[in-house]
Structures are given as structure tokens and as C-alpha cells.
């Protein structure tokens, strides 16, 4: 878009009303659109405009960029506070490190299968015995699990995928007694 032809908000208003023929193109990617918004806000001295004129600039930016009113309001607020319009990347903190791997969950499922799913405390003790008494090193990590977290692992998708079995409903004959 050639913004140099549009000098003030009156010319913007005539553009929006369709009285002035202006060829424009919407910038393609987000950073170009943000740079366009920033340059338009600078060019029209957005800080010094009256409320009605700010509304005209907002309508113009909506039509040209295709952004919603809420999005433009947020970007204009960013321009007014920081002096620039830029894409903010939201900081995503790293999640918790997964202590028990898929191999540990497989060992837990095998142990539950072998002993017909006993209580969590019994499984913890069995894993500790396998690790210390029988020197099976693969059980060392899972032997240190808390009982409550053991139940969390049993509820996980990986465990359920290995252990879940379905049986058909078994019919049985019941004599109906009439009173």
C-alpha cells in the first residue's frame, strides 16, 4: 500500500468510504503486517489524535490488515507503551523431567501381570527386592517410586495400553421367581 498518498485522517475516511481509489496490498506474513501497523501509527501520529480520528485509523488498519478490532487494540496498546509493534513469543517454561520411562512402565505392567495386580505397596516392595536381592538393575529406578505415583503410572496411557483387557459379557440363566 502506498501510505504516502494518505496524509491525514480525512483522507483515510474518504478511503474507507470508497470515494478515493487507492491500490493496496495486505502484507503477507505477520512481521510485515506488524511493521505496516507500526509505520501507519507513526505516520498518522496516533498518540496525538482525537478519539474520533483514532477510530478512523483503527477502521483503516482493520480493513487493510484483516486483523480483528481486539487484536489491533492489543497491538496499538503495545505501540503506545513500548513504542514498537512486534510479535511476542510466549515463554513456555520447560515441563517436568519425566523420571519414569516407557521401559519402567513396561516393567510395572509385567510385574502386575505376573502377580495379578497387587496393591501399590506390594509392587513397590517386589521391585525393590528384584533390584537389591536379585540384582536386576532394570528395576532400580522403579524401586524408588512412591506408592501414590505408582497408581499414577497405572493410570497412564502406556500402562493401560499394555494391561487393558476386555471380556465379553457372560450370560447366565436366572430363574425368575414370581411372588
- The per-residue pLDDT for range 38-72, each reduced to its tens digit, is 988 998 889 999 999 999 899 888 888 889 999 99
1 pLDDT higher than 60: no
Among 68-82, 126-140, 159-173, whose mean pLDDT is lowest?
A: 159-173
Q: What is the pLDDT of residue 21?
A: 47
Maximum CA pair distance of the chain?
Answer: 96
How far, in Å, CA of 67 to CA of 50, rounded?
Answer: 22
| Residue 27 binned pLDDT confidence (cut-offs 50, 70, 90) | low
* Average pLDDT of the chain, as a whole number: 85
Three-state SS letters, the chain? CCHHHCCCHHHHHHHHHCCCCCCCCCCCCHHHHHHHHHHHHHHCCHHHCCHHHHHHHHHHHHHHHCCCHHHHHHHHHHHHHHCCCCCCCCCCCCCCCCCCCHHHHHHHHHHHHHCCCCCHHHHHHHHHHHHHCCCCHHHHHHHCCCHHHHHHHHCCHHHHHHHCCCCCCCCCCCCCCCC
Looking at residue 4, its pLDDT comes to 62
CA 173 to chain centre: 53
**pLDDT at residue 2 greater than cutoff 70:** no
Average pLDDT over residues 149-168: 87
* Pick from 99-103, 128-132, 175-179: least confident: 175-179
Q: What pLDDT, in 10s, does the model give residues 106-148?
A: 999 999 999 988 999 999 999 999 999 999 999 999 999 999 9
Amino acid at each position: 500500500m502506498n501510505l504516502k498518498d494518505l496524509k491525514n485522517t480525512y483522507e483515510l475516511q474518504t478511503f474507507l468510504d470508497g470515494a478515493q481509489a487507492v491500490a493496496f496490498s495486505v502484507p503477507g506474513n505477520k512481521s510485515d503486517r506488524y511493521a505496516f501497523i507500526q509505520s501507519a501509527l507513526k505516520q498518522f501520529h496516533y498518540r496525538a489524535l482525537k478519539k474520533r480520528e483514532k477510530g478512523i485509523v483503527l477502521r483503516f488498519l482493520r480493513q487493510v490488515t484483516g486483523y480483528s478490532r481486539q487484536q489491533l487494540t492489543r497491538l496499538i496498546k503495545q505501540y503506545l507503551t513500548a513504542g514498537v509493534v512486534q510479535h511476542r513469543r510466549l515463554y513456555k517454561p520447560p515441563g517436568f523431567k519425566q523420571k519414569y520411562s516407557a521401559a519402567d512402565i513396561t516393567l510395572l505392567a509385567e510385574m502386575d501381570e505376573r502377580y495379578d495386580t497387587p496393591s501399590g505397596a506390594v509392587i513397590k516392595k517386589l521391585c525393590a527386592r528384584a533390584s537389591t536381592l536379585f540384582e536386576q538393575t532394570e528395576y532400580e529406578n522403579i524401586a524408588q517410586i512412591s506408592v501414590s505415583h505408582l497408581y499414577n503410572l497405572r493410570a497412564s496411557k502406556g500402562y493401560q495400553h499394555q494391561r487393558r483387557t476386555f471380556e465379553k459379557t457372560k450370560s447366565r440363566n436366572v430363574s425368575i421367581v414370581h411372588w
